[in-house]
Every structure is written in C-alpha cells, then in structure tokens.
Structure 1
Amino acid sequence: MTATAPELVDPAPAGSDPGRAVDRSDRTRGATLRRVAIRVAAVGGIVLAWWAVTALEIWPELIVPRPGSVWQRFVESVTTHDGVRGLEGHYLWEHLAASGKRLALGVGAAIVIGVPIGLAMATIRPIRTATEPFLNFVRSLPPLAYFSLLIIWFGIEDTSKVWLLFVAAVAPISLSVVAGAESIRSDWFDAARSQGASRLQVVRHLVVPAVRPELFTGIRLAIGFAFTTIVAAETVNGIPGIGGLAWSTKKFNQTDIAVLCVIVIGLCAVAIDQIIRAIERRAVPWKGRA
C-alpha cells in the first residue's frame, strides 16, 4: 500500500513560449512588490496617526505614549543605562529568549501529544467519543482560570508556565487533525481497504498525508493561542520574559514599556507565522492550488 497525497504538476507543453514564463515571473514579482508597498504604507499610516494623536495631545501621555518615548524604551531595552541592563535587569533579547523557550516547550509538547490524539480520534470512534468533550472543555477555558492550580501543582518556575502553554495549544492541534481526516472522501477509504490495506496502512498512507494542510492550520492557531497566553503564563515569576515584562509595567503605569511589549509580541507572532507558512508551502505544495 503506497498511496500518497496527489502531486500536481503544471503542464509545460512542447513548443511553449519561454517569454510567457518570464512574463508570469515578472507579474509575480510585481504583485509581491505591490503587497509589500501596501503593507508598508498601512504601517506608516498607523504610525503617522499615532504621532498626530500624541502631538495634538488628545489624550495624556499616560494613556497614549508618544512614539518617541516607546523608541527610547526600546533603546534602553537593548543597552545598559545608569548601571542597569536593559529593562527589569535583562536585555530585550533575554526576555524574548526566555519566553521563546517556554513557547517552544509548550507548543512542541502539544504537537507531539496532540497529533497522535487527533489521529486516534479520527480513526477510532470510541476514542473520539470519549476524548472530544474534554478537548472542547479545555479549549473553552480562559488560561487564568486554571493557572493557579498549575502553580499549586508544579510551582512558580517554568514547569507551570510550560503546562499552561501546552494546555492552550493541544486542543486546536488535535481538533485540526480530526477536521482534516473528516475531509477525506469515503471512497478513498473504500479503495484502500479493497486493496487489502490494514488500519495502520490506511492511517500512514492516506490519513497522515491528507491531514497535513489542516495540521499546519492547527499549529498556526495553537501558536497564536500560546502568544495570547504568554502574558498570563508569566504573571508569576515571569522575569525574564516578554510577557512578564509587560505585566510588570502595571506597577508604575509604564505605558510606553507596555506598548513596546505589545509591538514586540505582535512582530514575533507575525514572524513565526510566516515561518510556519513557508514550511507549509514546502510540506503541502498542493494546498490551495487548482
């Protein structure tokens, strides 16, 4: 049994004009440049509006800090000033590295555990019947609702934070695998069984390739949930950590540092999402193609 996901190849008829391929390449580059220009213009417009609001003093700086103040905090976060390293005694990259480690452990464990759970739910109905309500229950819980329990069980160090991120990420990954399996046509299963495929062979050669597109979607959602949970995870003993840094600003109403943390978290989330999408395009080249 060696059935695999379909491979799509663009036809290239003999005698075709090479100039057309060049034209398509030029159009693709032009479209890419337009998208980049639109996004840069949108970001520039937001920054300009932000600057205008602060220049007009519509709200006090405690509510809306000036872009220059946020930039100054960024400079402080990557330098030593007045004998202090960065912010809260750590450079910005140290905060990011600490949070990144917790995210990698939590989401990585969710992938390792969530994918087999999803495959078992997709192929063995009693397991799905027993497991799906629990996953939906966990998925609906806000992180702070059970973080106190995790602290009691695992302490205030990184273990409780990793568990919180794991719980936030495992449900979307498992359910995405189930959704991907549900999209497989029933006649494909019939064809595989008619050729004598065992349950394991059906899972390996049919289900696993077919669920890959939904799996990457689930991973992207899980990483998004993990980023929204990182501040909650680092409210206790979260320094160094970008979420812990954001949480610490409430003590002295440091709005400029809070805005800096929001921008950094958002940029990191977008960058990681783009990396996952690039991996997805290589691992699932047929997705989204006609």
Structure 2
Amino acid sequence: MSAQDVAARALPAAQDRSDDERRERAARRRARARTLGLRLVALAVLLGAWWLVAALEVWPRVLVPSPGDVLDAFVTVSGLAPDASGRTGFSGHLLHEHLGTSLRRIVVGSGIGTVLGVVLGLLVATVGPVRTVLEPAVTFLRQLPPLAYFSLLVIWFGIEETPKIWLLLVAAMPPVAVATAAAVGGVHRDYVNGARSLGAGRWDVARWVVLPAALPEILVGIRLGVGVAYTSVVAAETVNGVPGIGGMIRDAQRYLQTDVVVLGILVLGVSGLLLDACLRAVERRAGPWRGRA
C-alpha cells in the first residue's frame, strides 16, 4: 500500500474525530448554558419571593428586611455612599476590611490544619501503632462542634488572633486527616504490587503510585476541611472579632440591624462559593484522572 493510500484513508478518520470533538464541545457548551440558566431562574425566584414577603410585611421589617434594605446596607458598609447620618462602614471598618480579615484567618487556620491533616492521615494509614493511638482522637475532634472548645481556647490563648486561628485549625484538620487516611488505605493493592514487581522501592511506590492514586480523594478532603473552617469563622469571631464578617454580624445582631446581618450572611455565602469553586478547579487540574483510573 502506497503512502498516498494510507494518507487518503487516514484523512476521513481524522475528520470524523474532529467532528466528534466539535460536537462534544458544543454539547458541553449547551449543558453549561442550561445549568447557568436554571441557576439564574432559581435565583430570580428566590429574590422575588423574598421581595414579596417583605412587601406584604408578613413579618416586621426589622425582622425581615427587603432586598432594597440589604442593598442600601451594602452601599453604606462598603463605603460607596454614606447613610442618612453621613457614616460609612460598620464598627469602624469597611466591608472589604471585614471580609479580608476573615479570609486571612480562614486561609491561615485551614492552611495549617490542612498540612497537619494530610501528614496525620498519612501516618494513620501507613503506621499501625499511630493508627491505634491517634485514630480515636481524630474521630473525637471531628465530632465536636467548634463552640464546644472555643471557650477553652480563649481561656488558654486570650482574645486576640491566636484562639481564632486555633479554632479554624482544629476545625479543618480532622476531615482532611480522615479523607487522607481513607484515600491512602483505599489504593488498590494491584497497583502497589505491580510497582514492586517492577523493582520500585518503598519511597518510589509511595511517590509514584500511592500518592497519585490517593490525591483526588485527598483534595476532596481538603475541600471539606476548608468548608468546615469556613462555617466556623463566625464562631471564631464572636470574641473580639472586629474587623471580621463574624464580628460584624454579631455587632449588628446586638443593635437589631437585621439588614447588616443578612448582608454579612450573603457575603459569607458568596465568598464561600467562590472559594469552593477555586478548590474544585485545583482538584480538576491536580487529579484529572479521578474516576478514570
């Protein structure tokens, strides 16, 4: 068979593959557009129901502020425009300062907790005596709500930044440790035995077989740990938490400024969604083989 015949046969096959790829990309675009449309419709319905409840005054406005009230609070607390008394911000700080301080606490606390959780999970999964000693302690910590030990952390470390960081650290570490231990323990033995039969040493197996196989599940555990730390930030900022979104919510609750409370909740929710989206993007890039191998 001549080279021209081979090229002539290969060209239609390549064209078919290209057409299939285009159709797949178009299908993915349609699926993303459909998902986005459904989410926008759901958001519009939720906002409409909220506005209707506030307009009908089913509950007093001080209990259920309208979307317009929350928007006015956002403009004032963000420093975009002063309120009727000429003030901007809340508790002496603007919204971005509150949010930035909370995010810094979350990043530091959950970051340290993540590193410790991964190390602890690896030890629990690979060293029998460590598993016997530490696995019950990790499970014990995982079951405790943050407020159960925050008061003790305040007694130990005072009311400044240290107890807040410790709270977020302890909140993030157990889920990461449990996920890491389960991921490493769940690596198929055939992968390990196959690598060893080809002459791989202990560290080579750990680096090139166990860690890549367990990485996607470890990343899921990190997402869970960061999520737990994120939900604990309000508890961490109940004591001397200003600036901070949790401290802002607490002070607004004291003075019945429900619009600021709702604003703080929305800011936490939206920023949490963005943070989780970033972690999911890292998960897709760092472990694209999840579910395929």
Fold agreement, TM-score > 0.5: yes
Partner of 1:135: 138
| CA offsets 1:226-273 (integer angstroms, 9 cap, x no match) | 111001100011000011111112211111111111111000111000
Cα displacement (A) at 1:197: 3.5
Partner of 2:177: 174
Partner of 1:30: 30
Partner of 1:207: 210
Which structure's residues are more often helix, by fraction? 2
Partner of 2:165: 162
Change (3 A) 1:43 1:134: same
Cα displacement (A) at 1:19: 2.6
Opposite residue 21 of structure 1, the aligned amino acid is: E
Partner of 1:61: 61
Partner of 2:21: 21
Cα distance in 2 between the residues matched to 1:192 and 1:152: 51
Cα displacement (A) at 1:200: 2.5
Partner of 1:255: 258
* Equivalent residues in 2 for 1:233-272, closer than 5 Å: 233-272=236-275
Q: Is the 8 A contact 2:114 2:225 kept in 1?
A: no
Give the number of aligned pairs. 279
Change (3 A) 1:67 1:143: same
Cα displacement (A) at 1:289: 4.3
Partner of 2:219: 216
Cα displacement (A) at 1:109: 0.3
| CA offsets 1:83-137 (integer angstroms, 9 cap, x no match) | 5441111111000110011001001101221111111111112111111100110
Opposite residue 270 of structure 1, the aligned amino acid is: L
Partner of 1:103: 106
Opposite residue 111 of structure 1, the aligned amino acid is: T
Further displaced range: 150-159 or 39-48: 150-159
Partner of 2:287: 284
Cα displacement (A) at 1:15: 4.9
Cα displacement (A) at 1:199: 3.0
Q: Which has the higher contact order (CA 8 A, sep 6+)?
A: 1
Partner of 1:226: 229
Q: Is the 8 A contact 2:252 2:260 kept in 1?
A: yes
Secondary structure at the counterpart of residue 160 of structure 1? helix
Cα distance in 2 between the residues matched to 1:53 and 1:167: 40
Task: Indicate whether 1:150 and 2:153 are aligned.
Answer: yes
Unaligned segments of structure 1, at least 5 residues = 1-12
Cα displacement (A) at 1:157: 0.9
Task: Indicate whether 1:113 and 2:116 are aligned.
Answer: yes
Q: Percent sequence identity over matched residues?
A: 46
Task: Indicate whether 1:50 and 2:53 are aligned.
Answer: no
TM-score normalised by the chain length of structure 2: 0.90
Q: Is the 8 A contact 2:110 2:172 kept in 1?
A: yes
Unaligned segments of structure 2, at least 5 residues = 1-12
| CA offsets 1:141-167 (integer angstroms, 9 cap, x no match) | 111111111112211111110000000
Further displaced range: 197-206 or 207-216: 197-206
Partner of 2:10: none
Opposite residue 90 of structure 2, the aligned amino acid is: L
Partner of 2:75: 75
Partner of 2:92: 89
| CA offsets 1:182-224 (integer angstroms, 9 cap, x no match) | 2211222222333443333322222211111111111111111
Further displaced range: 151-160 or 34-43: 151-160
Opposite residue 68 of structure 2, the aligned amino acid is: G
